[in-house]
Chain A
Amino acid sequence: MIDFLNSIIVLLNFIIIPGISYGSQLALGALGVTFVYAILRFANFAHGEIMSFGAMITILFTWFFQSQNIGLGILPTALLALPIGIIATIILCIISDKFVFQYYRYQKSVPVVLAMVSIGVMFVINAIIRIIIGTETIKFSDGQKFIMKAKQFKVMTGLNEGLALKSSQVITILITILLLTFTFWFLQKTKTGKSMRAFSDNEDLALLSGINPDRVVFTTWIIVGVLACVAGTLYGLDKSYKPIIYLNLVLPIFASAIVGGIGSPFGAVVGGYVIAFSEIMVTYAYKKFFVYLLPSSIEPTGLVQLLSTDYKFAVSFSILVIVLLIRPSGIFKGKVL
């Protein structure tokens, strides 16, 4: 029985908790990509950089608040700076729409052209970020680091295995729940939200119903800005902030959005968790888990690892390819909000 509990704790500590928090970050990112895809109808390659930009602004203001000795006690100061980051990210989104994307929307360009354009935007934001904050790894989480340390847990329960709970993980999960609830409530219950769904569903008919496309697009960028900045900041709080990582993050985010069924917000969220858990589960060495669970005679000798951690990155795309082969429209048939 104790062994069983220990094995469960191992899973919780190394797979489930990290999976949920990484999955939440991907889900928020993928949701942002999905909004752009459903309303503006293109794959936004700049999304990773938009997240990065939001996180950067949050970091800059975190530093400012820290220098002024303004803080939130046990909570990270970044939470205080987050709203400013969000506003900056929204402004960035709207500026890039006004000066870049809008033109192609009015021209009724094909989606591929818009995707190319988003690559240009990606480069520009990428450069701005590096020029402002450099390329170094930045840790900006302060306040109380752990809600529960592994050691405390061991003492508390008397088990062999510890369960550590970082406050950044808990914050990630709470904010994600809050934001997702709000987003889905907004889409399902408010008039503006419904008009966005209508626009995504059938653009011509939405125009015939008097829905103003410019307003729908504007609202979309606001939502995208919020989601991107929060996702970027949470990822940075949980791991650390490094511009190159955000550039690479765009791949698992796209994978999440497509796996869930691109254009479907619910699918994007599920996709985020699917990708996060598969990345972690496929590359985790299960030896410890089986040592607890199996009698010592048939204990595994190797690491019991499906793929070496080196392949972490490849996993999300393998999942994507498999899903596209079996069910090309994604888990939840996509295309509409």
Chain B
Amino acid sequence: MNNLIGKKLTAGYGGVDIIKDINLEVNKGEIVVIVGPNGAGKSTAMKALLGMLSLTSGSVEYSNEEISSMLPQNRINLGLAFVPQTNNVFTGMTVEENLEMGGFLRDDDIIHTINDVYDLFPILKEKRNQSAGELSGGQRQQVAFGRALMTQPKILMLDEPTAGVSPIVMDELFSRIIEVRKTGVGILMVEQNAKQALAIADRGYVLVNGKNSREGTGEELLNNPEVRKSFLGG
């Protein structure tokens, strides 16, 4: 059973708690979206799951194992992966090197995984020897995505994967995310483009002011009049 559960997470920066008693869960093969207004603590919640900030209280469990005090690097080893919103590629390295670095911890032959990533994002194969810093925003996002896939994660966390890309690229990225789900990976993402994200989501959480406000299937949330009114733009 590969599931990641956050129980009653309370965490923040410099003594100020941004999220309070939040519960989150991602299971194998499902897309879970966290939506909510700006400053609701969406990214913070995700970082708390990964251990990039320490918990004031609450716990994180992965496959029924308590991992609350584990370093982020070690959680990567367990099968979690994370794509930050910004600075998510090695700009001075080529696309292929970025992918290799993604597979840094693996001792087996990573060439197959690299090819899988190239199949998923054909443009990257074309630009494999170009340095990632020279790519367009959408292509960088694909590199970042591909880098995270290189660990062959069980749970993939994406922090606003479509921030700053054009609608066409966004659709493209979302369809890739669906493809990744088919391989059995659980995906947790924070999204500004809530409507489109909920449309592909199995489940969604709505965070408001650092607290769980609502949860349900993607469809339920999409059709909920209150959710629609507050931040899906009617």
Contacts and interface: CB of A to CB of B under 8 A. Distances in A.
Interface of A: 191, 194-195, 197-198, 200-202, 204-212, 336-337
Given A210-B105, A210-B151, A211-B101, 5 more contacts: A198-B93, A207-B72, A208-B81, A209-B151, A212-B73
Contacts of B87: 202, 204-205
A197 B104 contact: no
17 contacts: A194-B97, A195-B101, A195-B104, A198-B93, A198-B101, A201-B90, A201-B91, A201-B93, A202-B90, A205-B89, A205-B90, A207-B72, A208-B73, A208-B76, A209-B104, A209-B105, A210-B151
Q: Which one of B73, B76, B84, B151 has the highest number of Cβ atoms from chain A below 10 Å of its Cβ?
A: B73
B105 A202 contact: no
A195 B100 CA distance: 9
Contacts of B93: 194, 197-198, 201
A46 to B, nearest CB: 27
A217 to B, nearest CB: 14
A309 B89 CA distance: 48
Contacts of B77: 210
A254 B91 CA distance: 25
A209 B76 contact: yes
A197 B72 contact: no
A198 B76 contact: no
Interface in B62-101: 72-73, 76-77, 81-82, 84, 87-93, 97, 100-101
Contacts of B76: 208-210
B199 to A, nearest CB: 28
Contact of B147 (A195, A197, A209): A209
B84 A206 contact: no
Contacts of B92: 197, 200-201, 336-337
A212 B87 CA distance: 19
A194 to B, nearest CB: 6
Contacts of A336: 91-92
A198 B89 CA distance: 9
A200 B105 CA distance: 18
Contacts of A207: 72-73
A86 B147 CA distance: 37
A197 to B, nearest CB: 6
Nearest to A208: B82
A209 B91 contact: no
Nearest to A188: B97
B36 interface: no
A181 B176 CA distance: 41
Contacts of A205: 84, 87-90, 147
B102 interface: yes
B90 A210 contact: no
Q: Which one of B91, B101, B105 has the highest number of Cβ atoms from chain A below 10 Å of its Cβ?
A: B101
